[in-house]
A and B are shown apart, each in its own frame.
Chain A
Amino acid sequence: MSIQSSQRNEQAAALSIEDLSFSYSGRKALDKVSFSVKSSECTILLGPNGAGKSTLFSLITRLYDSHHGNIQLCGFDVKKETRNALTRLGVVFQQTTLDLDLTVMQNLRYHTALQGMSRKLAKQRIQQELERMCMYERRSEKVRQLNGGHRRRVEIARALLHKPALLLLDEPTTGLDVPSRQSIVEHVHQLVADQGLAVLWATHLIDEIYPQDQLIIMHKGQVRVKGSVDEVLKITSSASINEAFRRLTQGENV
Chain B
Amino acid sequence: MNILHYWRAMWGIIGRELWRFVRQRERFISALVRPLVWLFIFAAGFRAALGLAISPPYETYILYEVYITPGLMGMIQLFNGMQSSLSMVYDREMGSMRILMVCPLPRWFLLVSKLVAGVSVSIVQVYVFLTIAWFYDIEPPLVGYFWVFPALILSGLMLGALGLLLSSFIKQLENFAGVMNFVIFPMFFMSTALYPLWKMKESSELLHSLAFYNPFSQAVELIRFALYGQFNEYAFIYTFCAFSFFMIAAVIGYNPSKGMMMKKGGK
Asked if A2 CB lies within 8 Å of chain B CBs, one says no
Chain B residues near A102: list those with CB within 8 A: 16, 19-20, 23
Q: How far is the CA of A17 from the CA of B168 in the complex (A)?
A: 28
Q: How far is the CA of A24 from the CA of B106 in the complex (A)?
A: 26
What is the 8 Å Cβ interface bit string for chain A, positions 60-81, against chain B (1 contact, 0 not)? 0111110100000000000100
Q: Are B257 and A109 in contact (CB under 8 A)?
A: no
Within 8 A of A (CB), among B147-206: none
Q: How far is the CA of A109 from the CA of B19 in the complex (A)?
A: 13
Interchain CB contact (< 8 A) of B95 among A83, A89, A96: A96
Q: Are B102 and A95 in contact (CB under 8 A)?
A: no
Q: How far is the CA of A86 from the CA of B256 in the complex (A)?
A: 14
Interchain CB contact (< 8 A) of B265 among A24, A91, A93, A96: A24
- Tell me how far the C-beta of A113 lies from the nearest C-beta in chain B, rounded to whole angstroms: 2
Chain B interface helix/strand/loop/mixed: helix
Asked if B133 CB lies within 8 Å of chain A CBs, one says no
B262 and chain A: residue at smallest CB distance: A64
Asked if B12 CB lies within 8 Å of chain A CBs, one says yes
Q: How far is the CA of A21 from the CA of B102 in the complex (A)?
A: 21
Q: Are B12 and A110 in contact (CB under 8 A)?
A: yes
Interface residues in B, total, Cβ within 8 A: 34
Interface residues in A, total, Cβ within 8 A: 39
Q: How far is the CA of A64 from the CA of B24 in the complex (A)?
A: 32
What is the 8 Å Cβ interface bit string for chain A, positions 112-123, against chain B (1 contact, 0 not)? 111111100000
Interchain CB contact (< 8 A) of B104 among A23, A87, A96: A87
A91 and chain B: residue at smallest CB distance: B102
Q: Are A23 and B8 in contact (CB under 8 A)?
A: no
- Whether A63 touches B261, Cβ cut-off 8 Å, given contacts A86-B103, A87-B104, A101-B24, is yes
Chain B residues near A63: list those with CB within 8 A: 98, 101, 256, 261
Report the number of A-B residue pairs with Cβ-Cβ less than 8 Å: 103
Q: Are B267 and A67 in contact (CB under 8 A)?
A: yes
- Whether A113 touches B9, Cβ cut-off 8 Å, given contacts A63-B256, A99-B96, is yes
Asked if A124 CB lies within 8 Å of chain B CBs, one says no
Interchain CB contact (< 8 A) of B266 among A24, A61, A87, A109: A24
Q: In the complex, which of the residues A91, A98, A116 has the most CB atoms of chain B within 10 Å of its own CB atom?
A: A116
Asked if A36 CB lies within 8 Å of chain B CBs, one says no
Q: Are A116 and B95 in contact (CB under 8 A)?
A: no
Residues on B lying within 8 angstroms of A by beta carbon are 4-6, 8-9, 11-13, 15-16, 19-20, 23-24, 94-96, 98-106, 256-257, 261-262, 264-267
Known: A62-B102, A63-B261, A86-B104. 20 other contacts (CB 8 A): A22-B267, A24-B265, A65-B256, A65-B257, A67-B257, A82-B104, A83-B106, A89-B102, A93-B98, A95-B94, A99-B16, A101-B23, A102-B23, A110-B13, A111-B103, A114-B99, A114-B100, A114-B103, A115-B103, A116-B4
26 A-B pairs with CB atoms under 8 Å apart are: A61-B98, A61-B102, A62-B101, A63-B101, A63-B256, A63-B261, A64-B256, A67-B267, A83-B104, A84-B104, A86-B102, A91-B99, A91-B102, A99-B16, A101-B24, A102-B16, A109-B12, A110-B12, A110-B13, A110-B16, A111-B99, A113-B12, A115-B103, A116-B4, A116-B5, A117-B8
